[in-house]
Structure 1
Amino acid sequence: MDIVIEVPSGAHFSGWHPSTTSSSSPTHHPFVIVSLACVIGFDLRSPRGSGVSGGTASGKTTVCDMIIQQLQDHRVVLVCQDSFYRGLTNQELKRVHEYNFDHPNAFDTEQLVETISTLKSGQSVQVPIYDFKLHQRSSERSRQVNASEVIILEGILVFHEQRVRDMMNMKIFVDADPDVRLARRIRRDTVERGRDVHSYAKFVKPAFDDFILPSKKYADIIIPRGGENSVAIDLIVQHIRTKLGQHNLCKIYPNLNVIQSTFQTRGMHTLIRDKNISKHDFAFYSDRLIRLVVEHGLGYLPFTEKHVITPTGSIYTGVDFCKKLCGVSIIRSGESMENALRACCKGIKIGKILIHRGEGDETQLIYQKLPKDISERHVLLMDPVLGTGNTASQAIDLLMQKGVPETQIIFLNLISAPEGIHCVCKRFRHLKIVTSEIEEGLNEQFHVIPGLGEFGDRYFGTDDS
């Protein structure tokens, strides 16, 4: 389901790393490319992956500028489609007022695709500098853009070309009132770019109708009111921050797995973190997120090939589910995850472990009830919150003492503190952790921040405060 968020506006931001900056190649490919689209003078709403597109003068650049300024992170770079305008020939220059700068043919799309591909491969690139008054690229200068983990691609037609769209993880469309876009475009073209005011009706609006507006269907997010929509920008900034934080830990620990973050999952996290949410809604949205974590975790179980006959008499080659499987919940918060596991795995056996958490981060095993043949099974260990990692580590130690190989343990939780991830992943490098979001950290009382509070009390309705 696409999300419509309201936004527009425009400020100029170069977004380039200086050429004097040393190139830093990320270990992995950039995990997100953002495209922002803006509209000018007409009806338009659009995109998500990481790309920004839309009509002219809708406020794309302002939105990009605000995102980058709030992030203040060298791992985020901006690439503007405007840098890839083709230089005009002598014949075109003689009739420059008859040239359509909003048509796809006005851009060197091949070079744009090559540039983004190079950045994604971990290499720095030299991006052209375009003179909007001379309508030519500089032959002596270019801008260096270093390889980064987040690439924001901004331009009016970045969603038009499929090859460019396919490189985006999030596509954002920035919308604005048609009259506002018209005023901005005329002011920019006449004052900054030396163009004719009549080009708007002759080229800009038809190009919008023919190329930009049809591409809005590819947008994942639509931001009305551009830079004025601080709520939408804050959500996008937080989403990127989360991805950056997760990306770092996932590079350190290959056994750490974070489910894909979408604006649906972000919305559910927003709801369950709200201290004022009703108990019913807290349980409802927690169950939805838990189901996603369980489904993702099941994907790491071994499967065997299986052939079946379909109703048409054809042979379908598929896979058979892992037969030797059980769940183990850490009482009592972990019991909130049992229903999702039972819904996915019919008749699954579920064991229990009770570990008392004393003063500070001390823990003590109180009770355990596990299947007798647990050493022969793959185990899904369940606890919604991974904090210090001490409780999880003690539970994992117990499972291994019962003969469960480390490689056959998958630890499922909703949120994980970095401290807990370090604790578990350093000790147990062969089990897998599956979580839906990585937190900022722990406070002095060892509470996860921003966290969910006492999950068991909130889920089972025993927290009357």
Structure 2
Amino acid sequence: MKKKNMSNVSSNGAAVDLIEAASGAHFSGFLSPTSLSAPPSNSIPIEDDSPKQPFVIGVSGGTASGKTTVCDMIIQQLHDHRVCLVNQDSFYRGLTAEESERVHEYNFDHPDAFDTEQLLECIGKLKCGHSVNVPIYDFKNHRRCSESFRKVNASDVIILEGILVFHDQRVRNLMNMKIFVDTDADVRLARRIRRDTVERGRDVNSVLEQYAKFVKPAFDDFVLPSKKYADVIIPRGGDNHVAIDLIVQHIRTKLGQHDLCKIYPNVYVIQSTFQIRGMHTLIRDKEITKHDFVFYSDRLIRLVVEHGLGHLPFTEKQVVTPTGSVYTGVDFCKKLCGVSIIRSGESMENALRACCKGIKIGKILIHRDGDNGKQLIYEKLPKDISERHVLLLDPVLATGNSAGQAIELLIQKGVPESHIIFLNLISAPEGIHCVCKRFPSLKIVTSEIDVALNEEYRVIPGMGEFGDRYFGTDD
């Protein structure tokens, strides 16, 4: 079926279409957990002590859909990374004596059957880099083994598997990727009968009775509705090798990202190549000539601008080629403008004009006023800026204070936060924390994230005062 609307197409779109075509898997876009929020803060830490962020995958689906098989295949293919598997089944609430006597009337597929608070605590500790003791549940006696635990160590990848892991929003928000294993109901029932009779010592009649009374209604009421939260839907489960291979490839890509990109899904770093590293090496060299500094800075700025434009919404458009054929492509976003933070941001204007013919560009001047902080001195913006998507231009994101004031001004002028894309060459972690916590819907596109700020709030290793070096006004 032809898609008539391709709004908000990003670099993920190609991967989504490829996987759908190759495997029959349905991708609704690689979604991310709700952005971390925190109150605005002007205090800038000198070092980023946050632990390395693991990649958390949720795997859900109906009973006996093949979730565990999918998890095992992902773990096998990620053999060069530390991966841990946490089963939601481990967090079943132990039955009371009265419930145990009437166990066949107990609904194990209802959300209330699980200790979700303990599950949240467990995953939260793993995300912070701590080891945890996961309870062991006795399925024959329907109680937790009070003296037995399974120790799970901190890992690069955490896989959380269970029928209802998408039901609670708090659990969903911990995940970087959500996979739903979609298997035919008859196949799932046959697998469940085999598992419960062979592995758990139950008779067929009790399995069928429980399935009809609890399992199927719970699937219809809780499991199936949670399918809409999935980023990836895999038909045929573990038999769908193509889909699993592509999922693993995506995970490997995410693991190679900077940790801040995992914390803030609205931060994008253009893919590093030897060309990009080489250009960074040149412009960071204090001995480079002004001519070469400008030349290679312009090349890098152009790449950042092009990448930023890729995050704008597009609509489908058909044109007739000189051969008389119809080509289906996309139409560029019409309502667009640039805003440069004077003066170093003006160095990025030419690259934007080269990419977007006739684009309007506004200007904002923010001055550091001693102990009084940053002060807005001047602004000249398009009158209809509230109707436009805005590319905010500044080569260096340091503390984030100037950027924060500029973004606040744009929002006051009526620009939706989600319509702002902040483009820069290098970013300090402190600046990313500052901007992303205050403006979680805004996008940041950069070419490198540096180590930190020093005591003078200069980016380290950095490249000095960019505006002075670019315009030739340094000492």
Q: TM-score, normalised by structure 1?
A: 0.52
Partner AA of 1:170 in structure 2: M
CA drift of 1:71 comes to: 0.5
- Determine if contact 1:102/1:203 at 8 Å carries over to the other structure: yes
| Counterpart check, 1:217 vs 2:228 | yes
1:122 aligns with 2:137: no
Q: Using the TM superposition, give the Cα deviation of residue 343 of structure 1 relative to its aligned residue in structure 2, in angstroms.
A: 7.9
User: Residue deviations 1:46-71, cap 9 Å, x none?
Assistant: xxxxxxx1211111111111111101
Q: Which residue of 2 aligns with 1:132?
A: 139
Residue number in structure 1 paired with 2:189: 182
Counterparts of 1:92-171 in structure 2, within 5 Å, are 92-171=99-178
Q: Determine helix, strand or coil for the equivalent of 1:112.
A: helix
Match of 1:35 among 35, 44, 58: 58
Q: Which amino acid aligns with 1:98?
A: E
Report if the CA contact (8 A) 1:7-1:228 is conserved. no
Query: Per-residue displacement from partner, 1:404-446 (whole Å, max 9, x unpaired)?
Result: xxxx97269x99899xxxxxx98646699xxxxxxxxxxxxxx
Deviation at 1:7, TM superposition (A): 6.2
CA distance in 1: counterparts of 2:68 and 2:249, whole angstroms: 19
The residue type equivalent to 1:92 in the other structure is E
Residue of structure 1 equivalent to 2:257: 246
Question: How far apart are the structure 2 equivalents of 1:80 and 1:431?
Answer: 51
Answer yes or no: is the 8 Å Cα contact 2:89–2:162 preserved in 1: yes
Q: Is the 8 A contact 1:7 1:225 kept in 2?
A: no
Equivalences for 1:17-416 in 2 at 5 Å? 28=51, 30-36=53-59, 53-195=60-202, 196-198=206-208, 199-247=210-258, 259=268, 291-293=306-308, 322-324=341-343, 325-327=345-347, 339-340=354-355, 346=361, 410=425
Which structure exhibits the higher relative contact order, with contacts defined as CA atoms closer than 8 Å and separated by 6 or more residues? 2
Kindly tell me: are residues 343 and 259 of structure 1, through their superposed partners in 2, closer, same or farther at Cα, counting changes over 3 Å?
Answer: farther
Q: Distance in 1 between matches of 2:346 and 2:151?
A: 53
* Alpha carbons 1:27, 1:122 under 8 Å: kept: no
Does the CA contact (< 8 Å) of 2:61 and 2:182 recur in 1? Answer: yes
**SS of the residue aligned with 1:151?**
strand
Mapped contact 1:31–1:169 kept (Cα < 8 A): no
Quick one: structure 1 residues 409 and 113, their matched pair in 2 at CA, closer, same or farther if it must change by over 3 Å?
Answer: closer
Q: Specify the alignment match of 2:366 in structure 1.
A: none
Shift of 1:104: 1.0
* Cα distance in 1 for residues equivalent to 2:358 and 2:139: 60
Paired with 1:295 and 1:145, the residues of 2 have a C-alpha distance of: 40
Question: How far has the Cα of 1:131 moved from its partner?
Answer: 1.5
Does the C-alpha gap of structure 1 residues 33 and 431 become closer, same or farther in structure 2, counting only changes over 3 Å? farther
The gaps in structure 2 that reach 5 residues or longer are 1-7, 27-48, 271-301, 312-337, 364-392, 397-422, 428-444, 450-458, 467-475
Q: Quote the offset at 1:219 in angstroms.
A: 1.3
How far apart are 1:96 and its partner, in Å? 1.7
Percent of aligned positions with the same letter in both sequences?
60
**SS of residue matched to 1:140:** strand
What secondary structure, in the 3-state scheme, does the structure 2 residue paired with 1:173 have? strand
Contact 2:395 2:425 in 1 (8 A): yes
Does the C-alpha gap of structure 1 residues 321 and 429 become closer, same or farther in structure 2, counting only changes over 3 Å? Answer: closer
Superimposed CA distance per residue, residues 221-280 of structure 1 (whole angstroms, 9 cap, x where no aligned partner): 1111111111211121111111222237989xxxxx96189xxxxxxxxxxxxxxxxxxx
Could you tell me how far apart the structure 2 residues matched to 1:430 and 1:102 are?
Answer: 59
The CA deviation at 1:342 is 6.0
Report the aligned-residue RMSD. 4.3
Are the counterparts in 1 of residues 260 and 267 from structure 2 also a CA contact under 8 Å?
A: no
Deviation at 1:322, TM superposition (A): 2.0
SS, match of residue 246 in structure 1: coil
| Alignment partners' CA distance in 2, 1:223 and 1:170 | 13
Aligned-partner SS, 2:63: coil
- CA deviation after TM superposition for structure 1 residue 197, in Å: 1.9
2:395–2:426 contact (8 Å) kept in structure 1: yes
Give secondary structure in 1 for the equivalent of 2:217: helix
- State the shift of 1:326 in Å: 3.6
Matched positions, count: 283
What's the offset of the Cα at 1:149? 3.2
CA distance in 2, matches of 1:178, 1:430: 62
Q: Distance in 1 between matches of 2:130 and 2:465?
A: 33
Corresponding letter in the other structure for 1:204: V
Could you tell me how far apart the structure 2 residues matched to 1:64 and 1:341 are? 45
The answer (yes or no) to whether the contact 1:129–1:141 under 8 Å persists in 2 is yes
Distance (Å, rounded) in 2 between the aligned partners of 1:209 and 1:224: 18
The amino acid of 1:219's aligned partner reads A
